[in-house]
Structure 1
């Protein structure tokens, strides 16, 4: 079995494809959990819901992974703490953005974070076309519009920064640990940061609400974050940064199939653009990974001379 911390955790051609599967699974978890959690916003509040969801997820992950607190370097602990902070901030800032902005606008603003990660990681200018295409697709799917709210925009941009940090730090924490134990500690750290809000909100949750919180925390945090973590390990933050454009695609498809919400032609075009960007990213990542692997295993004297 290959550990999560190994430098070549998956075959260079299958790794990006498996990363897409993880991102899609995480997206479905996030969408389903959001539907469950949103019913509690009026009584518990967005920050309270975020904190309680993370507390549930932390408990589940701690039981499953049983992480050790010993033998970790200062760098590893710094990464774990930063990752937990990014998780907590991403959740709180996005939910507050949704409170002030249309959902599509908030989703588009948040996607600027992983888009920046994808753009900064390119080695050739031509590769910038893919994250840009994904952004255009997200805009068409989400349909940003409505009256601009400065406070909401600031929340959305803050969520973008947190989402970008979340994408990058998944790679760092994954490299410093041998499994999901680092993720479990990061989620626990995020839950601790939100603990004051969780404690204040807990008395307002009834029995049915606790059931929804448990399902939301397991689906949208424990499982979704674990899949995102694995996706970055299987490929790279740059690849996953582009693949995160699948989130609004999944949301649109779930709305159309499960809730009977129609898909406008412009949204269908957006889905096709995101799908193209994701497929091209996976193909390029597999091609580059295969070439690097071949260079690693090919003996120096077998390589053609420069003369």
Structure 2
């Protein structure tokens, strides 16, 4: 237990990798549930159970509600709900790795927007090349669903808004911001749950256990592991490792769902990951340079 409270750098890296594996494995589990439940029902159950679990983990009863800046929290929660709805709609139509790759354009775009460095055109070029390579040019391969791509890009846009909204002062701790944002996302999604044609089936076994596992893998466990890992990781290390998510998602889809990608699409994943890693490194270096310059002045 002491090792988890104060992890070494290697342990922190392993914990973050485990968090990513949990998160992307939850996508595979969600796709399995799509065979029995509507996409939006699965998304609503994930947010509801995740909100309840995080409320316990982050001790939501300790929130100082008088200090809350609700405008920031509402924006954060709406972005979270939109990301959830659109991403699940995307993976219902696309292989998991490809959906995450298109979605990842959102946070990559935020990083590039704020970077403003001479290397930016390289990372933009790599990201564009990666998106082009994602399309199956092999005529024998099944074409990608354009609606699914639109959903994934929409999820990426919501992810970008989620990042921007999460950086705004909320008046409370980051953990409590996440918790309240999850509850707001849950309330947005509740109508899709209450009016679901298979509402009674949700509480039956083993499906209810699957939904609990989805909530734990998608939110509770990754958030908890990331919190522990961040105690002994630099922003550069965290950002670089997080950039591996499209590749982890592709491997999860391959292992659990038998989703096969063309070699060009694997190359696309590598290209997008490279663009994100490069952007993370140069952005971090630029930030450190600015801080050093300010100290010298």
Where on the TM-score scale, by shorter chain, does this alignment land: which range? 0.7 to 0.9
Q: Which residue of 2 aligns with 1:304?
A: none
Q: Which residue of 2 aligns with 1:252?
A: 250
Aligned length: 275
Q: 1:260 and 1:36 mapped to 2: Cα distance?
A: 13
Aligned pair 1:188/2:186, yes or no?
Answer: no
- 8 Å contact from structure 1 (residues 138, 245) kept in 2: no
Where do residues 111-260 of structure 1 align in structure 2 (5 Å cutoff)?
A: 111-137=104-130, 140=133, 146-147=142-143, 151-172=147-168, 176-201=171-196, 202-205=199-202, 206-224=204-222, 235=235, 245-256=243-254
The two structures have a TM-score, normalised by structure 2, of: 0.74
Q: 1:155 and 1:256 mapped to 2: Cα distance?
A: 21
Q: 2:86 and 2:58 mapped to 1: Cα distance?
A: 28
Q: Which residue of 1 aligns with 2:287?
A: 289
Cα 1:189–1:259 shift into 2, 3 Å: closer
- Displacement of 1:58: 0.6
The two structures have a TM-score, normalised by structure 1, of: 0.72
Per-residue CA deviations over 1:105-161 (Å, capped at 9, x if unaligned) read 644443332232123112124223224424534654685885576654543443232
- Displacement of 1:86: 1.0
Aligned pair 1:28/2:24, yes or no?
Answer: no
Question: Where does structure 1 lack aligned partners over 5 or more consecutive residues?
Answer: 1-13, 301-307
Q: 2:25 and 2:135 mapped to 1: Cα distance?
A: 17
Where do residues 11-26 of structure 1 align in structure 2 (5 Å cutoff)?
A: 24-26=17-19
Question: Where does structure 2 lack aligned partners over 5 or more consecutive residues?
Answer: 1-8
- 8 Å contact from structure 1 (residues 119, 128) kept in 2: no
- 8 Å contact from structure 1 (residues 141, 249) kept in 2: no
2:87 corresponds to which of 81, 90, 94: 94
- 8 Å contact from structure 1 (residues 141, 248) kept in 2: no
Q: Which residue of 2 aligns with 1:305?
A: none
The two structures, once aligned, show a CA RMSD in angstroms of 3.7
